[in-house]
Amino acid sequence: MVRKQISKILRASKAAESLVECTEDKNARPLSLSGHVGFDSLPDQLVNKSTNQGFCFNILCIGETGIGKSTLMDTLFNTNFENFESSHFEPKVKLRAQTYDLQESNVRLKLTIVNTVGFGDQMNKQESYQHVVDYIDTQFESYLQEELKIKRSLHNYHDSRIHACLYFIAPSGHSLKSLDLVTMKKLDSKVNIIPVIAKADTISKSELHKFKIKIMSELVSNGVQIYQFPVDDETVSKINTAMNGHLPFAVVGSTEEVKIGNKMVKARQYPWGVVQVENENHCDFVKLREMLICVNMEDLREQTHTRHYELYRRCKLEEMGFKDTNPESKPVSLQETYEAKRQEFLGELQRREEEMRQMFVQRVKEKEMELKEAERDLQGKFEQLKRLHSEEKGKLDDKRRSLEDEINTFNKKKAAADLLQGQSFTNSNSNAKKDKDRKNSGFM
């Protein structure tokens, strides 16, 4: 990886030199040195710095449960990672990331392996890829947030962006599943996809050949862009061109060692023979290891940063309203965009405030009208009640008056009756006296 980086830097400095040559008339005057100065050690300085810092590489393994993801990772890195067998009954796809510190010679590698748990086991297939897309975006977002911080610490930031996505295709020999196509299509602008045919020992040689052609034509016809090994670097262009023609790699994984001749080799043993993982006549495992780890690891990291992350960042910043040019195609600085956005925001705020004020006034008016209406209603009802009350009162007064008249008449009649009764009593008393006197005088 380090050697690869040196060659890249050298190529870059060559390109820079030619750029300087092109612009030399305007900006810089080429001078030759009369002795050794020492800046030719810059590439070494860079290599030392990178080696001391260590590297990080993140692999995403997408494939259905039990397709051989963990076995292939163990085989690729010649170790035993922590592996958990997944169940086929996961309610949704989960992404499980595990990070390991590895060392080879003096090069330290922080390796993260992300596994899709329960991929393709749900009835709703959209659920399967959406979680993967979200996971990749979340890692980009974390990096962007770190980049946008005032106090950034990118040099010791644990970069969790996915550098390579190994997509495990089931060795059906038939065609890609719709889930494979949809998932790869959704991911191809976000990650470097390297498709692999898993458990390639379960498919015959002729079927495998046809299967590879079928897969590639299906990917092309569905517009799925898989990762192409770079061919612009002359040191690796030959091997990368050849390897691009072998995609998708048909792989076999095994950590079991079998004695072949006098050598122990990684293999899978069957009653009819032994499949040697590292035998290029048996499968493409070596090609994958070579391409993924030995030749193109740095390019995968670079592509992730310069292509996929850049796209994510651009879309995100555009979504936030940042642009490099204005509608007249003139360059706009970040400060100008910020100011324009701020003004736009303040304008919007004022508009909203005015809208709310208007709404409030309107509401108050409506409420006032409602209250007035209610007051009118009440007044009407009050007047009506008052009228009814005075009518009732009038009637009662009339009744009272007639009753008083009746009482008066009655009293008069009663007084007359009493008088009459008094007179008749007086008369009867005098008559009785007369009778008594008569009796006493002898009339009786």
Residues making contact with Mg ion (CB under 5 A) = 69-70
Query: Which of the listed partners (Mg ion, ligand GTP, none) does 301 bind, with a CB threshold of 5 to 8 Å by partner kind?
Result: none
Query: Which of the listed partners (ligand GTP, Mg ion, none) does 67 bind, with a CB threshold of 5 to 8 Å by partner kind?
Result: ligand GTP
Q: C-beta of 195: minimal distance to ligand GTP in Å?
A: 15
The residues facing 166 across adjacent strands are 61, 194
H or E stretch at 344: helix 334-440
197 binds ligand GTP per the rule CB under 6 A: no
303 binds ligand GTP per the rule CB under 6 A: no
CB closer to ligand GTP, 219 vs 283: 283
Residue range at the interface with ligand GTP (CB under 6 A); choices 199-207, 312-320, 336-344, 387-395: 199-207
Q: Which of 162, 196, 252, 295 binds ligand GTP (CB under 6 A)?
A: 252
Instruction: Report 41-70 residues binding ligand GTP (CB under 6 A).
Output: 63, 65-70
**Alpha carbons 345 and 205: distance in angstroms, whole number:** 64
**Alpha carbons 349 and 199: distance in angstroms, whole number:** 60
Residue 248 preceded by cis peptide, ω within 30 = yes
Q: C-beta of 85: minimal distance to Mg ion in Å?
A: 7
**Alpha carbons 112 and 105: distance in angstroms, whole number:** 19
What length does the chain have?
A: 444
**Alpha carbons 125 and 63: distance in angstroms, whole number:** 13
215 in Cβ contact with 248 (< 8 Å): yes
Q: C-beta of 95: minimal distance to ligand GTP in Å?
A: 12
Residue range at the interface with ligand GTP (CB under 6 A); choices 125-133, 198-206, 241-249, 399-407: 198-206
The residues facing 62 across adjacent strands are 167
Single out the residue of 294, 275, 278 nearest to residue 286, CA to CA. 278
The residues facing 113 across adjacent strands are 59, 98
Residue with the shortest CB distance to Mg ion: 70
170 binds ligand GTP per the rule CB under 6 A: no
96 in Cβ contact with 115 (< 8 Å): yes
Q: C-beta of 127: minimal distance to ligand GTP in Å?
A: 16
H or E stretch at 219: helix 205-221
Q: C-beta of 326: minimal distance to ligand GTP in Å?
A: 51
Q: What are phi and psi of 266, to 5 degrees?
A: -75, 130
Q: Which of 121, 159, 201, 298 binds ligand GTP (CB under 6 A)?
A: 201
DSSP conformation class of 215: H
For residue 218, how many other CB atoms are within 10 A of its CB? 15
422 binds ligand GTP per the rule CB under 6 A: no
Residue range at the interface with ligand GTP (CB under 6 A); choices 32-40, 194-202, 240-248, 426-434: 194-202
Instruction: Give the contact letters, 66-85, x = binds to ligand GTP (CB under 6 A), - = no.
Output: xxxxxx-------------x
Query: Which of the listed partners (ligand GTP, Mg ion, none) does 252 bind, with a CB threshold of 5 to 8 Å by partner kind?
Result: ligand GTP
Q: C-beta of 152: minimal distance to Mg ion in Å?
A: 36
Instruction: Report 255-274 residues binding ligand GTP (CB under 6 A).
Output: 268
Q: Which of 131, 161, 163, 199 binds ligand GTP (CB under 6 A)?
A: 199
Single out the residue of 75, 66, 79 nearest to residue 277, CA to CA. 75
Exposed/middle/buried for residue 375 (C-beta within 10 Å: 0-12, 13-18, 19+): exposed
Q: Which of 202, 222, 228, 279 binds ligand GTP (CB under 6 A)?
A: 202
Complete edge-to-edge strand list for the sheet that includes strand 257-260: 257-260, 263-270, 273-276
Q: C-beta of 190: minimal distance to ligand GTP in Å?
A: 22
Q: How far is CA 431 from the centre of its chain?
A: 128
- Single-letter code of the amino acid located at 155: H
Binding-site size, ligand GTP (CB under 6 A): 17
Q: C-beta of 202: minimal distance to ligand GTP in Å?
A: 5
139 in Cβ contact with 160 (< 8 Å): yes
Q: C-beta of 116: minimal distance to ligand GTP in Å?
A: 8
Q: What are phi and psi of 127, to 5 degrees?
A: -55, -35
Query: Which of the listed partners (ligand GTP, Mg ion, none) does 287 bind, with a CB threshold of 5 to 8 Å by partner kind?
Result: none
Binding site for ligand GTP (CB under 6 A): 63, 65-71, 85-86, 115, 199, 201-202, 252-253, 268
